[in-house]
Amino acid sequence: MAKIIVVTSGKGGVGKTTSSAAIGTGIALKGHKTVIIDFDVGLRNLDLIMGCERRVVYDFVNVINKEATLSQALIKDKRTKDLFILPASQTRDKDALTIEGVQAVLDELSEEFEYIICDSPAGIEKGAQMALYFADAAIVVTNPEVSSVRDSDRILGILQSKSRRAEEGKEPIEEHLLLTRYHPERVAIGEMLSVTDVEDILAIPLLGVIPESEAVLKASNQGTPVILDQESEAGLAYTDAVDRLMGEERPLRFLDVQKKGFFKRLLGG
């Protein structure tokens, strides 16, 4: 049986797709056969981040509607062995997702893959609920600011109440906090919530802290998951997060203000 991990947040633009791509790639790099599913029907982005947008022929909705087989729709990643992408449909909307359809696809994928990463759309509506419904674990992507934290709190409530595990009274979904776009300099001057603040409010275990990094934007534009950029702090932080997800101990890095100078002077701290 595959482990189904949903990457979710409630709020948009916090880094769900970036994190799905990075973590999915990281798990595959460890030799586990992994598929990343884009649940953002109508706003397809994962293929861009993964750099496979020109290879999309069939998509998730085609498979649900039995217009294509899974093997036709799955895109094999060119860089990472054991990694596949199931793109979303750009021309449809979230109503194309049905519980039965999604379940059939996940069941079929479970036979072949070890990890299924569900890249959730923003919001708490149908698309997001479909993405989390079958999950065994959730990575809640949060930015260190109040509205993102509030939305993450909301989605944690939905994970506890509207998932299949909750409805069937099984062991609850395993919850992980991934704090992204973390800016130690801005935390130091009180412009951003600290790791402790966010942990205190959400009260779930911390999977990792990804520092704000230019490498993320660069990687997105190039269609390369940022975890492959092992020169960048963000890439290294994602690697740590994947290691922790696999049960390894890794100390937190990149939380302190390192470079005195430019930012600190610029922001007057």
Partner 1 sequence: MTDLGFQLKGSVVTTILLEIQTLSLESIVAQLREKIEQVPHFFNQAPIIIDLSKLKQDLPLDAFDTLIISLADLGLGVIGWRCDQENKPVWFSQAKIPMLPASKARPILVPEATPKDTGPDVVVKTVVEERLVPQATKVITKPIRSGQQVYAEGDLIILTQVSAGAEVLADGNIHVYGALRGRALAGVKGDTQARIFCKSLEAELVSIAGNFMLSDALRKIIWKEPAQVVLIDDSLDITPL
The site for partner 1 (CB under 8 A) is made up of 124, 150-151, 153-154, 156-158, 160-161, 172, 200-201, 203
Reduce the DSSP state of residue 142 to 3 states and report it.
strand
Q: Please, which residues have CB within 8 angstroms of residue 173's CB and are 6 or more apart in sequence? A: 6, 132, 135, 136, 137, 138, 159, 160, 163, 165, 166
For partner 1, the closer of residues 26 and 127 by Cβ is 127
Closest CA to 159 of 9, 263, 37: 9
CB of 184 to partner 1, least distance (A): 25
CB of 208 to partner 1, least distance (A): 21
Angle at CA of residue 100, ends 121 and 82, nearest 5°: 60
Q: Strands 137-142, 115-119: parallel, antiparallel or unpaired by DSSP?
A: unpaired
For partner 1, the closer of residues 161 and 251 by Cβ is 161
Phi, psi (deg, nearest 5) at residue 213: -150, 140
Torsion angle, CA of 136/45/129/64, rounded to 10 degrees? -90
CB of 152 to partner 1, least distance (A): 9
Q: Please, which residues have CB within 8 angstroms of residue 189's CB and are 6 or more apart in sequence? A: 267, 268, 269
CB of 267 to partner 1, least distance (A): 28
Q: Which string of b and e fits 84-97 if b means at least 16 CB within 10 Å?
A: bbbbbbbebebebb
CB of 142 to partner 1, least distance (A): 13
CB of 220 to partner 1, least distance (A): 29
For partner 1, the closer of residues 149 and 226 by Cβ is 149
For partner 1, the closer of residues 57 and 203 by Cβ is 203
CB of 205 to partner 1, least distance (A): 13
For partner 1, the closer of residues 11 and 44 by Cβ is 11
For partner 1, the closer of residues 107 and 200 by Cβ is 200
Kindly give the residue spans of alpha helices, DSSP state H, lying in the chain: 16-29, 46-49, 60-64, 70-73, 99-112, 126-133, 146-162, 164-167, 184-188, 195-202, 214-222, 233-245, 262-266
Q: What is the DSSP letter of 88?
A: P
For partner 1, the closer of residues 36 and 158 by Cβ is 158
